[in-house]
């Protein structure tokens, strides 16, 4: 029997996946038993949702993209019933978009879009919980830790600290009980890796947590997930119930004497709670604010007990490491950064979505070999990497290998894996202002330099983008950045100046153009734009009525003019013109 799988992650659902799923249900009522219908998570090709896969069970599959309810009948008639692929809607296969997957190595995303995230039996059929069985039955906690150390796995939440070493600290710490926390508080603009993993393959993360709990000697764990991820939370709750029923959670797991319980703590969306001590405070019911370290959480964390914190992607790597061995995992990557990394691709790129590549792959390779290049065939300008605490890397530096050391040398950071692509229509001063406005709004206010310093930096950037900046402002930005990085308590404050510093370093000429020439080279900052009518004008009169200040005058079938004293730079004339008669500069 053929199987029809509909992608119902957040991306698929928002594109109309539920309506498509219902259309297949209706078809199934008309043809009882003709096919099996199931839902899956995100396969990574978010740019082609709604995605539907038709499989005959013998590794013969067809993947259809941008499926709508009105296309369902034809897919069922021609493919499911008659066995003939509907070529015009295929997104995989010869001559299609198979290249999206060719250069990926899917370890974390191994099951994403392939299995039903609500079925523990499908997870078990794909080696699910085999790593837990191996760890509990055949390995001591110390052996598990040594295997993780040998794999070279580093924390995927942004810091990149060696995972096994972190576990060893916690296991050796005095105090009981010990706690394990999964940081699923994914708050970076443009990042959706953890959300997709939880929606598509929640058991892989749970299995990783059980292994980690056993290794460090913890019997209690928390999953801290932001409430803005309702689908991820719903699937987590379901997966936890299923794991309990199968004996992988609770008392005396698999008869080994190991106990482990998990609870979900829903966060309220504070970006600062991605910092581990603020996250701990939030779980304890206090305001999420960072504290001084040491003591580190491994020594004194949740309720002053030894605590280990890793993020979703880190835990999802662990089943592979224990099943395949540390050497198999370490075979991927570079000398200092082993394994693979998941990136959320957003911005001016043709194929947005999730990709997973070996460490050492290049940013340029991801953008052009996997994601098809720049949207609308624009000119590649830069990438913003590492979220609000990261930085902007210019196009001419994007051939460096992706690993923690190399990325840090650019002034950016790996972060959790958000990668925003920018083309020549992006204003780098505006980008710096956007990210600084985010971190300034999300500052908990505990540190004066973070609370006030970011505000002063933001005010300077706002002046520059309206043509009121001075060259001395650039020195002030450098000075404030140094003070904020040195004096802030947590990573949010310490990293807040990075988008400004990297854009100043690599795109200083754009700051100078805003200040000296009162121009925005990318034509983004409204106050610095000038709209004029060019020789293409036919006198159609469409632009004049659209102008809210009556700044455009002219007779019908004659060239029009813009009164610059009345123009408010709204751009409506540029938008409505059908003859490219309005010049924006």
Q: Is the pLDDT score of 93 beyond 70?
A: no
Domain endpoint, select from 376, 402, 423 = 423
Task: Work out the pLDDT band at 342, boundaries 50, 70, 90.
Answer: very high
Q: Indicate if 509 and 553 belong to the same structural domain.
A: no
pLDDT score of 14: 96
CATH number of domain containing 53: 3.40.30.10
Q: Indicate if 16 and 146 belong to the same structural domain.
A: no
Q: Indicate if 76 and 195 belong to the same structural domain.
A: no
**In the predicted model, what is the mean pLDDT of residues 86-96?**
79
* Residue 334 domain-assigned (yes or no): no
Residue 487, CA distances (Å) to 274, 483, 494, 504 in order: 19, 6, 8, 21
Dist CA 178 CA 312 (whole Å): 19
* Residue 390 domain-assigned (yes or no): yes
Task: Work out the pLDDT band at 95, boundaries 50, 70, 90.
Answer: low
Q: Indicate if 380 and 438 belong to the same structural domain.
A: no
CATH number of domain containing 344: 3.10.20.600
CATH number of domain containing 544: 3.30.70.20
**Other CB atoms within 10 A of residue 132 CB:** 27
CATH number of domain containing 482: 1.20.1440.230
Q: Indicate if 360 and 310 belong to the same structural domain.
A: no
Peptide bond before 104: cis, by omega within 30 degrees of 0? no
pLDDT score of 558: 92
Q: Is the pLDDT score of 115 beyond 90?
A: yes
* Residue 110 domain-assigned (yes or no): no
pLDDT score of 140: 98
* Residue 189 domain-assigned (yes or no): yes
* Residue 35 domain-assigned (yes or no): yes
Closest CA to 503 of 513, 493, 518: 513
Q: Indicate if 153 and 270 belong to the same structural domain.
A: yes
Task: Work out the pLDDT band at 416, boundaries 50, 70, 90.
Answer: confident
pLDDT score of 94: 58
* Residue 351 domain-assigned (yes or no): yes
pLDDT digits (tens, 9 = 90+) for 430-453: 999 999 999 999 999 999 999 999
Task: Work out the pLDDT band at 488, boundaries 50, 70, 90.
Answer: very high
Q: Indicate if 405 and 432 belong to the same structural domain.
A: no
pLDDT digits (tens, 9 = 90+) for 46-72: 999 999 999 987 778 899 999 999 999
The number of domains in the chain is 5
Token couple for 53: 């896969």
Task: Work out the pLDDT band at 506, boundaries 50, 70, 90.
Answer: very high
Task: Work out the pLDDT band at 99, boundaries 50, 70, 90.
Answer: confident
Q: Indicate if 10 and 54 belong to the same structural domain.
A: yes
pLDDT score of 334: 95
**What rounded mean pLDDT belongs to the chain?**
95
Task: Work out the pLDDT band at 236, boundaries 50, 70, 90.
Answer: very high
**Length of the chain (residues):** 585
Q: Indicate if 144 and 286 belong to the same structural domain.
A: yes
Domain endpoint, select from 466, 488, 517 = 517
Q: Indicate if 225 and 137 belong to the same structural domain.
A: yes
Q: Indicate if 260 and 184 belong to the same structural domain.
A: yes
Domain endpoint, select from 458, 491, 517 = 517
Neighbour-count burial for 559-584, b at 16+ CB within 10 Å, e otherwise = ebebeeeebeebbbbbeebeeebbee
Dist CA 507 CA 501 (whole Å): 10
Please tell me the pTM assigned to this model: 0.94
* Residue 300 domain-assigned (yes or no): yes
Q: Indicate if 297 and 277 belong to the same structural domain.
A: yes
CB–CB of 461/428 below 8 Å? no
pLDDT score of 380: 97
* Residue 115 domain-assigned (yes or no): no
Task: Work out the pLDDT band at 187, boundaries 50, 70, 90.
Answer: confident
CB–CB of 462/432 below 8 Å? no
Dist CA 90 CA 498 (whole Å): 42
Instruction: Give the domain extent around 540.
Output: 529-584
CATH number of domain containing 228: 3.40.50.11540
């Amino acid at each position: 029997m053929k199987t029809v799988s509909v992608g119902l992650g957040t991306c698929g659902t928002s594109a109309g996946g539920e309506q498509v799923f219902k259309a297949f249900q209706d078809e199934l009522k008309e043809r009882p038993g003709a096919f099996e219908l199931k839902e899956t998570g995100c396969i990574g090709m978010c740019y082609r949702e709604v995605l539907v896969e038709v499989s005959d069970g013998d590794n013969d599959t067809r993947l259809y993209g941008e499926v709508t309810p009105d296309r369902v009948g034809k897919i069922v008639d021609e493919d499911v019933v008659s066995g003939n692929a509907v070529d015009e809607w295929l997104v995989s296969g010869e001559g299609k978009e198979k290249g999206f997957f060719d250069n990926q190595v899917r370890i974390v995303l191994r099951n994403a879009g392939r299995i039903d995230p609500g079925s523990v039996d499908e997870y078990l059929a794909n080696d699910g919980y085999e790593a837990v069985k191996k760890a509990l039955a055949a390995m001591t906690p110390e052996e598990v830790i040594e295997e993780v150390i040998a794999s070279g796995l580093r924390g995927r939440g942004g810091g990149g600290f060696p995972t096994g070493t972190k576990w060893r600290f916690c296991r050796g710490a005095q105090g009981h009980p010990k706690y394990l926390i999964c940081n699923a508080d994914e708050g970076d603009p443009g990042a959706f890796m953890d959300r997709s993993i939880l929606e598509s393959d929640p058991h892989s993360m749970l299995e990783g947590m059980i292994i980690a709990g056993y290794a460090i000697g913890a019997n209690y764990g928390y999953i801290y997930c932001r409430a803005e991820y309702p689908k991820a939370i719903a699937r987590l709750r379901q997966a936890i119930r299923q794991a309990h029923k199968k004996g992988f959670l609770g008392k005396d797991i698999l008869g080994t004497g190991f106990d482990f319980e998990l609870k979900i703590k829903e966060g309220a969306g504070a970006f600062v709670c991605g910092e581990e001590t603020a996250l701990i405070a939030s779980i304890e019911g206090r305001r999420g604010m960072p504290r001084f370290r040491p003591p580190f959480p491994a020594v004194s964390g949740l309720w002053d007990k030894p605590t280990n914190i890793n993020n979703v992607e880190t835990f999802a790597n662990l089943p592979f490491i224990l099943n395949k061995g540390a050497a198999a995992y370490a075979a991927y990557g570079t000398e200092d950064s082993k394994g693979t990394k998941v990136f959320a691709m957003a911005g001016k790129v043709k194929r947005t979505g999730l990709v997973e590549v070996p460490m050492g792959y290049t940013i340029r390779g991801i953008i052009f070999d996997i994601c098809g290049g720049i949207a609308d065939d624009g000119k590649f300008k830069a990438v913003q990497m590492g979220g609000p605490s990261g930085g902007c890397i210019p196009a001419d530096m994007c051939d460096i290998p992706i690993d923690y050391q190399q990325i840090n040398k650019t002034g950016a950071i790996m972060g959790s894996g958000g990668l925003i692509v920018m083309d020549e229509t992006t204003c780098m001063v505006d980008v710096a202002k956007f990210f600084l406005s985010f971190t300034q709004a999300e500052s908990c206010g505990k540190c004066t330099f973070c609370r006030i310093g970011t505000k002063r930096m933001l005010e300077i950037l706002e002046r520059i983008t309206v043509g009121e900046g001075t060259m001395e402002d650039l020195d002030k930005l450098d000075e404030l950045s140094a003070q904020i990085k040195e004096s802030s308590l947590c990573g949010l404050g310490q990293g807040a100046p990075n988008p400004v510093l990297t854009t100043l370093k690599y795109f200083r000429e754009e700051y100078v153009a805003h200040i000296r020439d009162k121009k925005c080279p990318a034509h983004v900052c409204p106050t610095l734009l000038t709209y004029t009518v060019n020789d293409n004008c036919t006198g159609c009169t469409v632009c004049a009525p659209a102008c809210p200040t009556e700044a455009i005058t002219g007779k019908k079938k004659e060239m029009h003019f813009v009164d610059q004293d009345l123009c408010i730079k709204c751009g409506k004339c540029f938008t409505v013109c059908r003859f490219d008669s309005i010049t924006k500069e």
